[in-house]
Homo-oligomer: A and B are copies of this chain.
Amino acid sequence: MKAYSVKELLKGNHLLQEVAVNGWVKTFRSNRFIALNDGSTLTNIQCVVDFEKFDEKLLKKINTGAAIKVTGTLVESLGKGQNVEIQANEIKIHGEADPEEYPIQPKKHSLEFLREKAHLRVRTNTFAAVMRVRSALAFAIHKYFRENGFYYFHAPIITGSDAEGAGEMFRVTTLSDKNPKLTEEGEVDYKEDFFGKETNLTVSGQLEAEAYAMALGKVYTFGPTFRAENSNTSRHLAEFWMIEPEMAFYDLDANMDLAEDFIKSVIGYVLEHCQEDLQFLEKRLLDEEKTKPQAQRSDMALIEKLKFVSENSFKRVSYTEAIDILRNSKPNKKKKFQYPIDEWGADLQSEHERFLVEKHFKCPVILFDYPAKIKAFYMRLNEDGKTVRAMDILFPGIGEIVGGSQREERLDVLKQKMADLNIPEEELWWYLDLRKFGTAVHSGFGLGFERLVLFATGMGNIRDVIPFPRTPQNAEF
Contacts and interface: CB of A to CB of B under 8 A. Distances in A.
A149 B435 CA distance: 45
Given A22-B249, A188-B177, A224 B38 contact: no
Interface stretch (A77-85, A167-175, A306-314, A366-374): A167-175
Number of copies of this chain in the oligomer? 2
A378 interface: no
A180 interface: yes
Interface string A213-226: 01111100001101
A174 B229 CA distance: 10
A152 interface: yes
A340 interface: no
A155 interface: yes
A433 B160 contact: no
Given A173-B171, A194-B170, A153 B467 contact: yes
Interface of A: 3, 5, 7, 22-25, 38-40, 65-67, 69, 94-98, 101-102, 104, 118-120, 122-123, 127-128, 131-132, 134-135, 138-139, 142, 146, 149, 151-161, 168, 170-175, 177-178, 180, 182, 187-188, 194-197, 199, 201, 208, 211-212, 214-218, 223-224, 226, 228, 238-239, 241, 248-249, 409, 430-431, 433-441, 466-468, 470, 472-477
A171 B178 CA distance: 13
Contacts of A154: 134, 224, 241, 466-467
Contact of A128 (B208, B216, B223): B216
Q: List 9 A-B pairs, minimum CB-CB distance, nearest first.
A: A95-B439, A39-B216, A94-B440, A39-B217, A195-B475, A67-B440, A160-B475, A135-B151, A67-B438
Given A172-B170, A475-B195, A146 B157 contact: no
Nearest to A190: B177
Nearest to A213: B39
Nearest to A477: B430
Given A95-B435, A135-B146, 15 more contacts: A94-B440, A97-B436, A118-B430, A128-B216, A131-B153, A131-B216, A138-B142, A139-B142, A139-B146, A154-B466, A156-B477, A171-B172, A196-B472, A212-B467, A430-B476
A39 to B, nearest CB: 4
Contacts of A153: 131, 135, 467
A149 B7 contact: yes
Given A436-B101, A437-B95, A470 B212 contact: no
Given A119-B211, A151-B131, A477 B160 contact: yes
A132 B151 contact: yes
A473 B160 CA distance: 11
B174 A171 contact: yes
A159 B475 CA distance: 6
Contacts of A175: 177
A226 to B, nearest CB: 8
- Most chain B CB within 10 A, of A157, A178, A218, A475, is at A475
Nearest to A186: B178
A5 B217 contact: yes
Contact of A433 (B119, B172, B226, B472): B119
Given A153-B467, A157-B157, A438 B66 contact: yes
- Most chain B CB within 10 A, of A97, A159, A194, A196, is at A194
B171 A177 contact: yes
A216 B65 contact: no
Contact of A472 (B194, B215, B441): B194
A279 to B, nearest CB: 18
Contact of A38 (B180, B211, B248, B433): B248
B22 A248 contact: yes
A347 B60 CA distance: 46
B119 A430 contact: yes
Given A131-B151, A174-B171, A188-B178, A438 B65 contact: yes
Contacts of A217: 5, 23, 38-40
A214 to B, nearest CB: 8
A165 to B, nearest CB: 16
A194 B439 contact: no
B195 A187 contact: no
